[in-house]
Structure 1
């Protein structure tokens, strides 16, 4: 037996679907509070010293947190090539805006303190605000569009054709349900960023973070519930006409797909997946409650649970679909027909088993070293090389 055949193709596809979800959730949990902190910067910090405190809570860790974003993109490229081809071309302009906004963060961190001019620093503060707000919003818009279906089809030789047009690749994504998902995503990460600031700051900044975090949590609760009702009664789901072969070839065109019922029909077929939205609602409610109290670590922990539950609920409801087509349902991509080869998935799994524990260990060590609050005295100490 060839080595890579030790693990069945079906199992490898399922493992990489789970790992992709893990990477995306890890990105949301780590870089999510960076983006939320950036979105809160103009509101929770009113003096230059307070702004420096807020910036220095994420300054040492934001770059490492983005590793999960890179790993997620790499996993899509290697494990799900059709998904990479369609999503990165179809969402091209949105991706460009996200990357441009993310680029503002390192520039803002490095250039803000180069001059003592208040107008200069205010300009970079707003750049950091954009760098946190725009990605948080557009990532949610992308998720909403995935649930709605994306206008693409596959040619007989499996070349993906996106039908949205140049401007449709941006403005065509701004559909009402997708905008609602974007609002939920932004509010969710603002809540997460508020939990981080409660843990890392004190006094006035912490009090303001609690106030804005509570408001964001209420928006998340209402928006997530509304999105669920919209999915139940206003958006058609996707289903295979005949069960696909989990060990079959990577060719979406061999399976027939139909629009039918609701995405939420998955809860009737697999009742256990209801644990995901329960975690989403419970985590958000408890984060709101913790932000209303005096706990400092609990708001961040509960917001972690909320993010885990909400992102998981999307993947579990859609399974086995990963990118449906709303113009040609038979071109929809699924876990069972859009992956790389069995050998590729096996080699990637071996690499992941080696390097992911190293990344986790290093990340844990960094947060252990940087544990503790950031104070005005810290940022004014020249020996600390603060931003």
Structure 2
């Protein structure tokens, strides 16, 4: 336990804040192009063979990519219990919609080619569209609501009470961030198809992705302006010890000012939105020029920048409360115990490299394009 004694609670909290961001970004970078391809499916494929080409570019990897989502949910549950409790209860209907869509997607993958009927396959194609587009949209809507503050509070005995409604989540700013999320992942899916597919599927994906990429860039810029001038941020009104007990009611928080004040106190975080804009712009440029590997890498950089800009702007807040700012959850007052965070860190140090190595091996083995001959000449494709 010497190492345990060397890592203080405040350091462990920051480490797990970073790791949570890594898991969520990892999910967006990997399963993000799966969702992008699924949402593009009815539009890039004009016939059954073309749609099967698109599906088979992600068929071997989509299940493994969802590991990042599972790890992210597990990390929230174990490292930030109050965050898990409030978000999964307050966003219950939204979470249910996401889970229903994520359940529909694997069913569509497995059942689509069980029959040859055109109506049967078309129905499952649209199921894949729903199972991919709905989570991409709702994840963005959730981010928009978190930035505005969520209507919840804690009772004196730390019982969380959510006072909002499902339709209240569908406010204009949240819908804008949902649009950014959806179009960003559509562009990511187009970049993946540009790399992995052949023929008309690639041409259509590039044309659509170039448009959705521009929409994502404009939406991200508009969200930044809206955040600067139309949405108040949150800040502590009294010093918060980094090693304080995990009780948000001990903190003093005010709702006011601007989230973008963080860029004045920590100027280095401006690198995140720069990466976001640059990555998306270069991804659109790559789609228009027909480049492949670099376009996917630029798209990944854009997603990394966009998501990390949200986390860095809000730090140290995790989930602000719109109805009772003092109930807001932050890095310093919403974590598990020091021992729990340390044990989790040991497990992450052991198993994360294994997951990364296995993922890299899978992509290496399955590298290459999916052609029409692969589809018509194989009995094992989707």
Shorter chain as denominator, the TM-score bin is over 0.9
Q: Is the 2:206–2:290 Cα contact (8 Å) retained in structure 1?
A: no
Q: Is the 1:5–1:342 Cα contact (8 Å) retained in structure 2?
A: no
Q: Greater shift after overlay, 99-108 or 301-310?
A: 99-108
Q: What corresponds to 2:60 in structure 1?
A: 60
1:382: Cα distance to partner? 3.2
1:380: Cα distance to partner? 2.0
1:5: Cα distance to partner? 2.3
After superposition, residues 282-301 of structure 1 pair within 5 angstroms as: 282-301=278-297
- Cα RMSD for the two superposed structures: 0.9
| Structure 1: gaps (5+ residues) | none
1:294: Cα distance to partner? 2.4
> How many pairs were matched up?
382
Distance 1:294 1:215 in 2: 14
Q: What corresponds to 1:265 in structure 2?
A: 261
- Is structure 2 residue 212 aligned with structure 1 residue 216? yes
Q: Greater shift after overlay, 155-164 or 338-347?
A: 155-164
1:330-383 deviations in Å (ceiling 9; x for gaps): 000000000000000000000000000000000000000110000111122335
Q: Is the 1:191–1:217 Cα contact (8 Å) retained in structure 2?
A: yes
Q: Is the 1:242–1:256 Cα contact (8 Å) retained in structure 2?
A: yes
SS in 2 for 1:304: helix
Q: What corresponds to 1:83 in structure 2?
A: 83
- Is structure 2 residue 161 aligned with structure 1 residue 179? no
Q: TM-score, with normalisation over the residues of structure 2?
A: 0.99
Distance 1:294 1:326 in 2: 46
Distance 1:73 1:286 in 2: 31
Q: What corresponds to 1:127 in structure 2?
A: 127
After superposition, residues 100-249 of structure 1 pair within 5 angstroms as: 100-164=100-164, 168=165, 170-249=166-245
1:112-140 deviations in Å (ceiling 9; x for gaps): 11111100000000000001100000000
Q: Is the 2:27–2:65 Cα contact (8 Å) retained in structure 1?
A: yes
Equivalent of residue 272 in structure 2, options 267, 276, 285: 276
Q: Is the 2:17–2:331 Cα contact (8 Å) retained in structure 1?
A: yes
Distance 1:260 1:49 in 2: 55
| Structure 2: gaps (5+ residues) | none
- Is structure 2 residue 25 aligned with structure 1 residue 30? no
SS in 1 for 2:257: strand
SS in 2 for 1:49: helix
Q: TM-score, with normalisation over the residues of structure 1?
A: 0.98
SS in 2 for 1:230: helix
Distance 1:49 1:303 in 2: 27
Distance 2:208 2:378 in 1: 31
1:3: Cα distance to partner? 5.2
After superposition, residues 364-375 of structure 1 pair within 5 angstroms as: 364-375=360-371
SS in 2 for 1:82: helix
- Is structure 2 residue 341 aligned with structure 1 residue 345? yes
